[in-house]
Amino acid sequence: MSEKTDKRNADLDQRSSELDQELKIISEKAGHLANLRGISFIGVLVFIILVFAKDEKLPFLIGTGVFLIIFIALVIRHGKLKAQANRVAMLREIHEQYIARTKHDFSKLPDEGEDLKIEKHPFSGDLDLFGKKSLFQLISVAHTGYGRRQLQKWLLTASSETMDLSEIKDRQKAVEELSGQLKLVEELEACTKLNVKKKASPQALLAFIASEVATAGKAMRMLRIVNTVLLWITFIIALFLKGYVFFVPLFFLAVQLLLMVCSYKANDLTFSLVEKFYPELRAYSNIFTSLENVEVKADYLKTIKKRLYGETANAGEERSASNQLYSLYRICLFIQARMQPLLYFVLNIIAPFDEILLAFLERWRQRSGKSIPDKLMAIGEWEALMSLATMKTIYPEGAFAEIEESETPFFEAKGIGHPLISEETLVRNDFSLEKGCAMITGSNMSGKTTLLRTVGINTVLAFSGAVCPAASLRLSLMNIGASMRIEDNLGEGVSTFYAELVKIERIVKIAESGRPLLFLIDEIFRGTNSKDRTDGAWTVLKKLHKPSIIGMMSTHDYELCKMNGTGEVDLVYYHFSEYYDDDGLHFDYLLKNGMSTETNAKYLMKLVGITD
């Protein structure tokens, strides 16, 4: 292993030891506090017994109070220690997942991103971006719906009609900064994971922000206010006067009850909605607080922090995202109180309580609500950047790509490898392509398809802003079109050959748009006869032979390779080979120049017992 890899492993091991030690210390303290709490509780019981047993009660009442105060203080302290223990345990779990990433142990990485798959996408399924043992599963540390979808968007940059190079470079700088702060990134992930229990977005909060607060109307609000004032005035008068005056406040009380019944249903629409998003307010407020307190240098990270603060309040006070959500949380605490039937009647009889709460909600919605969706998006962007930063931990020798805008696309890599293959078995190759198509030949299982996927998935990583598992990588901005993983659909009557035709058509359409394109085609038209396969493949190659297009095609069809005798298409040939010894067939997975002349199909058939 390299020096950087050894240092990474040593740092990870040291971090594991630190977390284990911290968790051990907290557990020991919690154990001691539990014993003291038990002793103090016994002290409370003993002094209570002595209060009833002794004639002189004052000293024992004081003793009961002292032990009770000690017991309550210990309970509070024990609760805080328990919260600390939960946090450190979460950090330990997160750190174990980072170690699992370096070993490509997908069993410890639970979020496969299966729900983020997109059918009929130009390259997502072909390059294993989402789903089991995917790039998303390997790198994602996002726990909010915003973060997961933002990471999805950036991984699919190469399918966008417009790609902004400056945005990619800004992401690279932000990712580079976060890559060097593993402890901070783990702390931030722990905050989101502890606070967000589900990956969905806070839809109820967004629905509340998007619509006006539902009420029984301004007329009902005025009636409630006027009737409450008259109720209190007549009640106070009735306290000092006798006779018929006492029945007047009863009349206004009856009116108050009637108004409560009439307004209940309309007002409850908003309160029911609040009930749905109330549990998430403190959680997202905590996440905002953790991000607001981070010191950053990269421009993109500074921009995200600025979005979390937004505009300043009228009095000059900064209205941070955490403060905005916490102010809504405080309003919701009063709403929780009125959810109790008895409190609801008492509070709404003595005051127009519901109308007051609704007025506060509408005021918050107008002052702060409009900025919250963008601030939630900022959380997602931060989580996505942290996810991209994991690549530096997985591949400490990896490099950020040098990306250029060019009408003629190019790809040039040294020591490049596939990010979904562990370091222990990863074989790296140099590969470059400046024009035309690279024809990749070689025997079965020699590494042709893996090379195509290596080029494709590293292009994805480059445009997302992440480190690539390569010594160096230079490439231009370009779309990707792939036809590699072909699946039939018997339910829809789609054969393998037709499914491949659809994918090839999709690539051709991107090519016709005039945008720079990198195409990746594996074993073209494998589902038809040899002559049609060769003729069809040649037709596709000619259609894709444009200055704005480069590509790779793997094939066993040597007749196809011979069809370019006149140089009609710019083709460059590479191949993989194997060797045999007493132990059998072996592959070195090293890319070589030229066209392969070897096959191993007969050997493999013999190996599995099909032939003698």
Tens-digit pLDDT profile for residues 397-448: 999 999 999 989 999 999 999 999 988 888 999 999 999 999 998 877 788 9
Q: Which pLDDT value is given to residue 312?
A: 45
Per-residue pLDDT at 462: 97
Model pLDDT, residue 316: 37
Alpha-carbon distance 334 to 338, whole Å? Answer: 7
pLDDT(612) > 70: no
Q: Residue 22 above 70 pLDDT?
A: yes
- Which is more confident, 266 or 606? 266
pLDDT of residue 602: 53
Q: In whole angstroms, what is the distance from residue 164 CA to residue 169 CA?
A: 9
Residue ranges of alpha helices (H) inside 563-600 are none
- At residue 24, does pLDDT exceed 50? yes
Residue 13: pLDDT above 60? yes
- Does position 607 have pLDDT exceeding 70, yes or no? no
Given a contact cutoff of 8 angstroms between Cβ atoms, the answer to whether 563 and 534 are in contact is yes
User: How far apart are alpha carbons 320 and 325 in whole angstroms?
Assistant: 9
Q: Is the pLDDT of residue 610 over 70?
A: no
Pairwise pLDDT comparison (231 vs 389), residue with the higher score: 389
Helix (H) or strand (E) holding 265: helix 247-292
- Does the structure show a pLDDT above 60 at 228? yes
Side-by-side strand order, sheet with 436-441: 479-483, 517-522, 549-554, 436-441, 571-575, 592-593
Integer Cα distance of 547 and 408 in angstroms: 6
Average pLDDT over residues 209-230: 81
**What pLDDT was estimated at residue 584?**
65
Q: Range with the lowest mean pLDDT among 168-172, 357-361, 463-467, 579-583?
A: 579-583
Residue 317: pLDDT over 60 = no
Nearest-angstrom CA–CA distance, 165 and 354: 52
Please count the helices (runs of H) and the strands (runs of E) in the chain.
Answer: 19, 14
DSSP H or E run through 413: strand 411-416
Per-residue pLDDT, 606: 56
Q: Is 445 helix (H, G, I), strand (E, B) or coil?
A: coil
Question: pLDDT by residue (tens digit) across 287-309?
Answer: 888 888 889 999 999 999 998 88
Is the distance from CB of 505 to CB of 493 less than 8 angstroms? no
pLDDT at 236: 83
pLDDT at 213 over 80: no
Render pLDDT for 52-81 as a digit per residue (tens, 0 to 9).
Answer: 888 787 888 888 999 999 999 999 998 889
**Mean pLDDT calculated for residue range 144-172:** 94
The residue with greater pLDDT, 327 or 527, is: 327
Q: Is the pLDDT of residue 161 over 80?
A: yes
Paired residues of 438 in beta bridges: 552, 572
Question: Beta strands 571-575 and 592-593: pairing type?
Answer: antiparallel
Other beta carbons less than 10 A from residue 95's beta carbon: 21
What pLDDT was estimated at residue 581? 61
Query: Would you call 473 helix, strand, or coil by DSSP?
Result: strand
Residue 479, SS3 per DSSP: strand
Range with the lowest mean pLDDT among 191-205, 323-337, 425-439? 191-205
* Token digits of residue 267: 């007002």
Residue 200 has a pLDDT of 52
Neighbours of 83 (CB within 10 A): 12
Query: What confidence score (pLDDT) does residue 201 get?
Result: 60
User: What is the strand order of the sheet 472-476 is part of?
Assistant: 402-404, 472-476, 411-416, 429-433
Give the Å distances, CA to CA, from 230 to 223, 237, 332, 350. Answer: 10, 10, 28, 11
Percent of the chain with pLDDT over 90: 43
Residue 215 has pLDDT above 80, yes or no: no
Q: 182-195 and 165-179 helices cross at what angle (nearest 10)?
A: 100
Specify whether the CB–CB gap between 547 and 567 falls below 8 A: no
- 3-class SS of residue 227: helix
Q: Give the span between the Cα atoms of 435 and 416, in whole angstroms.
A: 19
Least confident of 22-36, 93-107, 477-491: 477-491
pLDDT for the residue numbered 69: 93
Q: How far apart are the first and last CA of the chain?
A: 42
pLDDT digits (tens, 9 = 90+) for 507-540: 999 999 889 999 999 888 876 767 777 888 888 8
pLDDT value of residue 220: 82
Which pLDDT value is given to residue 500? 82
The larger pLDDT score, comparing residue 235 to residue 159, is at 159
| Secondary structure of 40-67 as H, E, C letters | HHHHHHHHHHHHHHCCCCHHHHHHHHHH
The structure's pTM equals 0.86
Per-residue confidence at 14, pLDDT binned at 50, 70, 90? very high
* Amino acid occupying residue 158: A
**Predicted local distance difference test score (pLDDT) of residue 491:** 47
Looking at every residue in the chain, the average pLDDT score rounds to: 86
Question: How many residues does the structure list for the chain?
Answer: 612
* Average pLDDT for 249-278: 84
Q: How far apart are CA 77 and CA 71, in angstroms?
A: 10
DSSP 94-147: HHHHHHHHHHT-GGG-----GGG--TT-SSTTTTT-SSTT-HHHHH----SHHH
Residue 8 has pLDDT above 60, yes or no: yes
Residue 318 phi, psi (nearest 5) = -70, 125
pLDDT value of position 474: 97
For the stretch 535-573, pLDDT in tens is 888 888 999 999 999 999 988 777 777 777 677 888 999
